A and B are shown apart, each in its own frame.
Chain A
Amino acid sequence: MRPRVAVAAGGAIALVVALGACSKNTGEGTTVDTERQQTGVIATDPKDSQGPAAEVSGAAKGGTFTIIRESPISHLDPQRTYSFAGLMANPLFARYLTTWKDDGKGGLVLVGDLAETPGKNVNNDCKVWEFTVKDGVKFEDGRPITSKEIAYGIARSFDPDLSGGPTYIQEWLADTAQFDTKWDFKKNKTSLPPGLSTPDAKTLRFEFAKPRCDLPFAVSLPTTAPLPADKDTGVDLDKQPFSSGPYKVAKNQVGVQITLDRNTNWDPKTDPVRHQYPDQFVWSFGPTADAANNRVIADNGADQSALAFNTVPASLVAKVAGDATLKSRSILSPTPSANQLVINNQRVTDLKVRQALNYAIDREGFIKAMGGQTVAAPLTTLMPPATIGYKAYDAYPAGANGNVDKAKELLGGKTPELVLGVADNSTEQQQGAQLKANLERAGFKITLRNISDDAKLDEIKKKNNPWDLYIGNWAADWPSGASILPVLYDGRTIKAEGNSNQAYFNDPAINTEMDRISALSAAEQGPEWAKLDERIMKEHAPVVPLFVDVAYNVHGSKAGGIFISSVFGYPSFVNAHVKP
């Protein structure tokens, strides 16, 4: 009798699981177009910076917009915000000096947010910048926002207790990476950091020792969110930030849910990008990416006006892409987040080996291993297509699946033994297995070494890390070559740990060229960075460009106005609304 029970139980499982396994997959209809052109400019016409933002067609007021995400947002305090979820949540309750007007299709204009224009380059040498604060901008308690509160926000970002946020402005003002030793916030709460001043309540002035032509971009980060000194609660500001945007934090159950209500003191006429359509925004944390997406796909009750912030997992892609009814409920867009097979140039010093790696790479297979074209799009350049001035090229053309023969030819019969460090998460494990098979076909001998998932980033940032290859990622803070190439490939920045130049690439000629381009005006820099990009790849091949992340999100049938930010590659909420 017991065997019969076994058969029955087995049969029941078989039935549940095998349902739907009988249709044939012919591979049709599985192509996704992820190409798009990026254009980016800094607004020269002050009208661009004026509100109100154009109405979103079909948008109506009211409703609760829910955003479901697996892990909580690490910081709400604008001065400490750097994670993508934080960067996307912040505009709901924080305004900055400048911000991006984004059409969601790659068209970007940098406009003044709290400032009337995206900055005035006073002497045209990028060393002195002035911003004029708009009239009518207010905090959630109705107090007007002046240059004092913006300056105070920047000043508190010097506090080592409040670490975590971007450090561009601090480092530029202090002219050293050790900005918090140069100027101690806690001892000087009533004064301002060196180089920062407020000549009057409307004016904010930056003076730098070196030209900082990227300042208008840098002040689009949350570091420049205003805060009155009497509302500074230190580390507790993370729980209850003080709003200057269209919404304010009404209730924050840390780690579980954040509820944002309308801020009645926000004036749409002063804001060029934000709207205030839903009555409420709710960030809900906890469900895994799988659960969140399944929930939104099911489109039940409150989930009808919800968005799964985590992209569709590879395992669900076939379901979402194959379902015509989900087409109108999904957004698919390439992001500016570029991924490379980083070659440790300190260890792999032979240019031929690095070039052979570039020829050998099977990008199509690699992307398949990750879940296909809705997860990643192939990339052959250092900078992602979403960079101002971008020019496409392939320095080592070898087709979608790589050219094994060409790689073998370059290796000349040698079999270089390389250690590939991979994080022990399931994605990188798959990637590692695929890369190993791929590269060994081309004559390499690859050893896979697992690195603890959370430690991987810190480990490969150490100068003397022991691996030859690892998968690296860079998502720039603004879409300019200046926030990509010098950060990743300027050899003079290499230090013992905490490196962004994870290829440990250092070439004096390239370094000099970077200095030259950095001193150009922001408008002139674009094409020059693109040229340098190609030159680095052709002459040095310090990495193997792999792919850009593709954002693939689903939302409920009543959620509208969601687009993927052309700057950060994550869903933006400035146009979000709930359909009646």
Chain B
Amino acid sequence: MSLSPVEGVALAEIESGGDEGGAATKGVVGRSPGQLAWLRLRRDRTAVVSGVLLVFFLLLGLAAPLIEMVYGIGPREQFQNMLDGFGMPLGYAGGVSGEHWFGLEPGLGRDIFIRLIYGLRTSLFIAFAAALITATIGIVLGALAGYLGGWLDAVINWITDLTLAMPFLIIALALTPTITLRFYGERGQVSSAFGVGVLIAVFAIFGWTSTARLVRGQVIALREREFVEAARASGAGLGHMLFRQLLPNIWAPILVSFSLAVPQFITSEAALSFIGVGLSDETPSFGRMIYRSLDFLQTDPAYVFFPGITIFALVFAFNLFGDALRDALDPKSSR
């Protein structure tokens, strides 16, 4: 288990297809590579199914407060009167009923369904935000290093190495309480948003390396191309070179790496909860739910089943979609 939240895999997979991003540009006349990819994606049944599933999950997360209104139960409400003397839910399959669709948590008796919905919201938000930020940092640093080269390249490379060498889980474990203390003093109510923010920040600090390496490699490959040299000769500024000339030609692998990074962050949030870092119990999140429920594998399997299957379906859908996206963007490897 790598200690870095995003393993360098996406990077290597995509790097291998290095020049293909550029190759596609030279492709069929009349259609932009984006249109082509979109067409291919729409024709891929897997992509459509997983895409629909992802949209469904996204909508569920977005509509959480709405669902709470219709469902009539909040994520923090406790139904302890529906638990037995050991704190286990009464009734069938962990207290599944018309009122509590997925049953109740042992101990506190909170409704699992509504907590899952809110957990989905939290986890998706964290994962998307972290993926966006890491992609941005990675693109900027990678492009600068790749394009300018020289000492800047060396420095950025070294920082990348350093970041990789710092054990992520350990640092996260040490930093999270410290940051909280700095911001809220010892008595303030820590808002859920803050906990989420800290997690995103931690991911951002450690997650950008693979994108940076990917972009750097791509930019180096493009640097000596004619069209780049032409633009340079005509006196284009740094900004223009990076954002107008280089990046439009490497967006495909970046997109793929982004789509594969999101599920990585979802599972990383869960992994952090597992060693006791992350959100407090008040904020419903996938990580905490899974972590808590695993203990009950033998005594309340339904409690493990519902969050377990949801997180699996979500991550699986992301992976399927990411795969399909790569196929669509890289015609050579498509089946």
Q: List chain A positions with a Cβ less than 8 A from chain B.
A: 1-3, 6, 9-10, 13-14, 17-27, 30-32, 290, 294, 313-319, 321, 365, 367-374, 419, 424-426, 429-430, 432-434, 437, 447-450, 452-453, 465-467
Contacts and interface: CB of A to CB of B under 8 A. Distances in A.
A25 B295 contact: no
Contact of B90 (A27, A319, A430): A27
Residue of A31, A372, A432 ringed by the most chain B CB atoms within 10 A? A372
Given A6-B316, A437-B78, A467 B308 contact: no
Given A17-B297, A290-B295, A372 B281 contact: no
Interface string B91-111: 111110000000000111100
Nearest to A465: B186
Given A22-B92, A30-B86, A314 B46 contact: no
B94 A424 contact: no
B93 A430 contact: no
Contacts of B107: 314, 368-371, 430, 434
Contacts of B309: 10, 13-14
Contacts of A6: 313, 316-317, 320
Contact of A13 (B46, B93, B95, B308): B308
B80 A319 contact: no
A22 B93 contact: yes
Contact of A452 (B88, B89, B177): B177
Contact of A425 (B177, B276, B300): B276
A22 B93 CA distance: 6
Contacts of A432: 281
B305 A30 contact: no
B189 A317 contact: no
Contact of A25 (B89, B292, B316): B89
11 contacts: A13-B309, A17-B304, A21-B302, A26-B90, A313-B295, A314-B87, A316-B298, A317-B299, A368-B85, A449-B186, A450-B180
Contacts, number: 168
Given A9-B312, A17-B308, A447-B187, 9 more contacts: A3-B49, A6-B316, A9-B316, A18-B305, A20-B301, A313-B295, A447-B188, A449-B186, A450-B280
B223 interface: no
Nearest to A318: B299
Interface residues of B, number: 56
A311 to B, nearest CB: 13
B124 interface: no
Contacts of A316: 295, 298-299
B83 to A, nearest CB: 5
B237 interface: no
Contacts of B49: 2-3
A23 to B, nearest CB: 8
A447 B185 CA distance: 13
Residue of A14, A30, A317, A318 ringed by the most chain B CB atoms within 10 A? A318
B50 interface: yes
Contacts of B95: 25
Given A315-B295, A365-B80, A450-B190, A321 B305 contact: no
Contacts of A425: 276
Nearest to B278: A424
B76 A372 contact: no
Contacts of A318: 84, 86, 88, 299-300
Contacts of A419: 187
B296 interface: yes
Contacts of B226: none
B108 A317 contact: no
A429 B87 contact: no
Contact of A2 (B46, B180, B282, B308): B46
A453 B309 CA distance: 31
B84 A453 contact: no
A437 B76 contact: yes
A319 B85 CA distance: 13
Given A3-B49, A26-B90, A437-B78, A430 B108 contact: yes
Contacts of A370: 87, 107
A370 B302 CA distance: 19
Contacts of A450: 177, 180, 190, 280
